[in-house]
Structure 1
Amino acid sequence: MRAISGLWRWRHNPLCRRTDLLEGWVALAALLLVLITAPVLGTLVGSAAQDALQSSVREQHRARHAVTATVVRKLDPSPLDVDPETSTGRDLRSRVLAHWTAPDRTDHHGQVLARLEDPRPGDRFRIWTDRQGRLVTRPLDTATATTHAVLAGFGAALATAGLVECGRRLVVWRMVRRRYALWDQAWDRAGPDWGRTGTGS
């Protein structure tokens, strides 16, 4: 509000140039655009992302199934596996040969990364598969999808505000260049007569 009241008083100042007023109005227009457009676009993008992500969550939960796998034997660690010395207990995984039954009742064997610190034959753990028993990643959960949607909305709002600010800076830059060009022209007209008597200077 102080900027608006200052702009209103500044317009009657005898030292105020037309470009000064234009810069003030451009700044005010940019502020209003940021305050109105950024939240609206952020809400629209966040809402669209939420709908798409929640639809994906429902589809993944329909297509992916949690099944219980049984350790057959522990396998030698692969160089691509997580280094146990640098990993925490939360992300420690062991490579095992496991057996599981798919939702379509077919039996499967394969190498699996198990969240077991010291797997032994007969140990059970949960894995995610499709209906045919092929290993898949864990489905996205609702809370994570909502978090991604909120972040998308914030990102869209920030991008909109950034674009508006870039537009304002570009307009002001063009105005300043124009002002300097006019000053140069005025100086070129006054320069040859600078300091001469009788020239009105």
Structure 2
Amino acid sequence: MTRTPLTLSAPTRLWRWRRNPLRRRSDVVEAWIVLATWILVLLGGLLAGAAAAQATDASFAARRAQVHSVSAVLTDDAAQTPPAASGLENGRVWAAVRWTDRHGVSRTGQAKVFAGAPAGTRVTVWTDRTGRLVSAPVRGAEATLQTVLTGALVAPPAAAAVWAAGWAVRTRLMRRRLAEWDEEWKQVGPEWRNYSGGRG
């Protein structure tokens, strides 16, 4: 004989939302907790991700506002290959450059340039408000990608935290309901057993 797997129909799954004699107040509360938890999971994850992405974007914008690009000149030929310990980063190596700051003062420093670039090559470097060389700010597609990734990484943990809080509340409610059932059974059980024995 083939057994049909037991499946719950939609009305059965939603029994806490329907009026019936077996439904208790705690069942209604649990249904609302489950609904609120899932809504907050979705909203919390989205809002946390959006807030993180906005904060990242604002950080990039602030960084771009604090630095500016300057045209510099290589003072020596750039190395053909980088030292073994430093590693090659996007085909660039450290080299000495010279530039003139906004006050007309000539400055020198080290900047990343393409390997093998000859002396006299014009390169763009970035300086802060004090005139020091700094790394280029994150812009364009790279900034967008990092902003999106930050939001995507923050959203799941935030949603998980909300779900865990809702699960903890529901678990406590279930334990309380089981305790209530136990107390009621202590009162009803003896009478039911007497009734059953009497029928025999």
Q: Which of the numbers 50, 69, 72 marks the counterpart of 1:68?
A: 72
Aligned mates of 1:10, 1:111 — CA distance in 2: 69
Gaps of 5+ in 1: 85-89
Q: Which of the numbers 110, 119, 122 marks the counterpart of 1:121?
A: 119
**Residue matched to 2:35:** 28
Please tell me whether residue 93 in structure 1 is matched to residue 92 in structure 2. Answer: yes
**Residue matched to 2:107:** 108
Q: Is the 8 A contact 1:96 1:111 kept in 2?
A: yes
- With over 3 angstroms needed to count, the CA separation of the structure-2 counterparts of 1:71 and 1:5, relative to structure 1, is farther
What is the aligned residue count? Answer: 187
Deviations 1:147-198 (A, max 9, x none): 555556666765654343223211210011112323444555678x6997xx
**Residue matched to 2:137:** 139
Give the % identical residues. Answer: 34
1:135 deviates by: 0.7
**RMSD over equivalenced CA pairs, Å:** 4.2
What TM-score, normalized to structure 2? 0.63
Output the amino acid matched with 1:59.
Answer: A
Gaps of 5+ in 2: 1-8
Aligned mates of 1:111, 1:153 — CA distance in 2: 34
Aligned mates of 1:59, 1:21 — CA distance in 2: 54
- With over 3 angstroms needed to count, the CA separation of the structure-2 counterparts of 1:70 and 1:54, relative to structure 1, is closer
1:106 deviates by: 1.9
Output the amino acid matched with 2:62.
Answer: S
Aligned mates of 1:57, 1:127 — CA distance in 2: 15
Aligned mates of 1:33, 1:95 — CA distance in 2: 50
Q: Which of the numbers 166, 169, 179 marks the counterpart of 1:168?
A: 166
Matched residue of 1:200: which SS? helix
Question: After TM superposition, what 4+ stretches of structure 1 lie above 6 angstroms from structure 2?
Answer: 2-5
**Residue matched to 2:195:** 200
Deviations 1:21-78 (A, max 9, x none): 32212222334445666656766x3696388447515523xx4222222241446945
